[in-house]
Chain A
Amino acid sequence: MTDVMLQTIGICKNFGALEASRDITLDLRVGEIHALIGPNGAGKSTLIKQIAGGLRPDAGRVLLGGADITALDTAARAQRGLARTFQISELAMEDTVLQNATLGALGAGGAPMRFWRAALDLQDLRETAIAALERVGLAAKSASRTAELSHGERRQLEVAVALTLNPKAFVMDEPMAGLGTAGSKTMTTFLDGLRAQAPILLVEHDMDAVFALADRISVLVYGRIIATGTVAEIRNDAAVRAAYLGEEA
């Protein structure tokens, strides 16, 4: 199965008596957007942390491009090509937009122990950073302080930083959160084009976006995946309708 980029096999995670992840097996194929949906408290964030780093599963494995990354920390996973965006923006707020993007390029380059030349004067870093900002449409704001950006622009910057890593796979935690209707549409169009570069595991509450973007959807309820399938299959799945969409089957 060479076309699987990111994979979890039998992931389990318990917090005391709470089973946050129960035997989760999930794959992300090259070229696709795989949406992960589920009600609040279903264990989406716990699962994301086990995939992108920050939380070790009690059992099971995580594979990126066929290599086992279960034992690696967040930084090592990013070095291997896993790019993550956050539900609540994680950016250096005092720094400029360009500095944040340059930080991504610096991380991807893997040589932060340089003490003399200015980071923003290093041609390779600068080019990568500016190219990423141009792609998300933030190049005009590159000299602005990140704290001065609007909420939507911060979301764009999160994606731009992820792009600088030139990743093999994206893990995105609610990229539409807090965006208005127009912003949501712009982001949807952007992500639609992004899947050709690297597949996206997308956690999202905005159902319009999910149905518009997803090649496949997995539904997580009480730590268990109750269904995986295409948009049409999920819409018509009786268990999903009962558990998630709130309709009687």
Chain B
Amino acid sequence: MIREPLLNAAILAGLVLFPLWAWSAGEPFLITLATKAVILGLAGVGLNIALGLGGLVSLGHAVFFGIGGYAMGILASHAQLFDPILTEPFTLNGTKSMPIIWVLAVVTSGLAALAIGMLSLRTSGIYFIMITLAFGQMFYYFAISWPAYGGEDGLSIYLRNSFPGMNTLDPIQFYAICATILFIVLLFNARLARSPFGLALGAARQSPLRVETVGLSPYRLRLVAFVISGMITGLAGALFADLNRFVSPTMFSWHLSGEIIVFILIGGTARLFGPVVGAIVFVTLEHMLGGVSDYWKIYLGVMLLLIVLFARGGLIGLLAGRERAHD
């Protein structure tokens, strides 16, 4: 058994060294794959705060991923056409600046998470899963039927958005931006898990009655967790759209919500690096088996089945054993 912090450090080192190797070997496509894994991992880290810490199985996190994507798509498409988003009552122009896009992606997905959370957190268990799925489908069909931003065809952005001082079209530089964001969010997640909020949220998952009895509201704790979770997944959505220079309603689809859950299950629920490991495995399998067969997800399914049956702690649990109690 490897201790979890050691394992995490190894994963972190891999996330730095692999793209550097690919860069020196002249394999930009591998860097792009790594970028995809990092961004999907970030979306999973977002969900893991709600699902792992809070026990909230949201089958609608694609909503936030999609909102982040469309925040980028809408702002950038207006900017590239020099067409203001609003002229009345004030002029609001689009932007190609990544930091501004991120802020808007985080704010809008946070507001959506607040609204969805306020309604869906009044339920629990299977009802919570179903109501979050229902919200996901609402957003999906809305995006399909909204002609202003491409409807079913989605929106293409000609040039990747800009970040001050960086050439974002260079794969290794864009990777550096995404990986830095992931590391910052992981640091925040690690602190959050041990913070007073994390302690109370974890207790609300295990025994809501206990939390109420010490004078705290499980609903409020879960709502805050859901909003933080949605904001992180929204940020991942904005980065994902920038990676592809394309956003479409599939970012809202329930398949994507399911895939984010799969990342967490493969890597290990409530484990800090669980979703990152899951996303790396997912992207690797997709790349290696996707060329062999269109039905590569069969193999993913078998793997998921084995993990759920025999390794409930995911790959991290398999390698590092049970999570140690914080002391």
Contacts and interface: CB of A to CB of B under 8 A. Distances in A.
Contacts, number: 125
A113 B213 contact: no
B200 A115 contact: no
Interface string A165-183: 1000000000000000000
Interface residues of B, number: 28
Contact of A120 (B191, B200, B202, B326): B326
In this complex, the interface size class of chain A, counting residues with CB under 8 Å from chain B, is 35 or more
Nearest to A52: B213
B210 interface: yes
Contact of B214 (A73, A94, A165): A165
B107 interface: no
Interface in A123-167: 125, 142-143, 145, 161, 164-165
Residue with the greatest number of chain A CB neighbours at <10 A, chosen from B196, B203, B212? B196
Interface stretch (A18-26, A96-104, A189-197): A96-104
Contact of A74 (B192, B195, B206, B213): B213
A112 B196 CA distance: 6
B194 A120 contact: yes
A53 B195 contact: no
A107 B214 contact: yes
Contact of A95 (B202, B209, B216, B217): B202
Contacts of B134: none
B206 A106 contact: no
B213 A119 contact: no
B209 A90 contact: yes
Nearest to A116: B191
B212 A106 contact: no
B206 A92 contact: yes
A86 interface: yes
B215 A107 contact: yes
B1 interface: no
B212 A113 contact: no
Contact of A114 (B197, B203, B206, B327): B197
Contacts of A75: 211-213, 215-217
Given A95-B202, A99-B326, A113-B224, A161 B214 contact: yes
B327 A106 contact: no
A106 B202 contact: no
A96 B206 CA distance: 13
A216 to B, nearest CB: 25
A106 B210 CA distance: 12
B325 interface: yes
B207 interface: yes
The 9 closest A-B pairs by CB, nearest first: A107-B214, A78-B215, A107-B215, A79-B215, A74-B212, A92-B203, A118-B194, A92-B206, A143-B327
Interface of B: 188, 191-192, 194-200, 202-203, 206-207, 209-217, 221, 224, 325-327
30 contacts: A52-B213, A73-B212, A74-B209, A78-B214, A86-B209, A90-B209, A90-B213, A91-B210, A92-B202, A93-B207, A96-B327, A99-B199, A100-B203, A100-B210, A102-B199, A103-B210, A107-B211, A107-B215, A107-B216, A108-B214, A112-B197, A113-B224, A114-B196, A115-B195, A117-B191, A117-B196, A119-B194, A143-B325, A145-B325, A165-B214
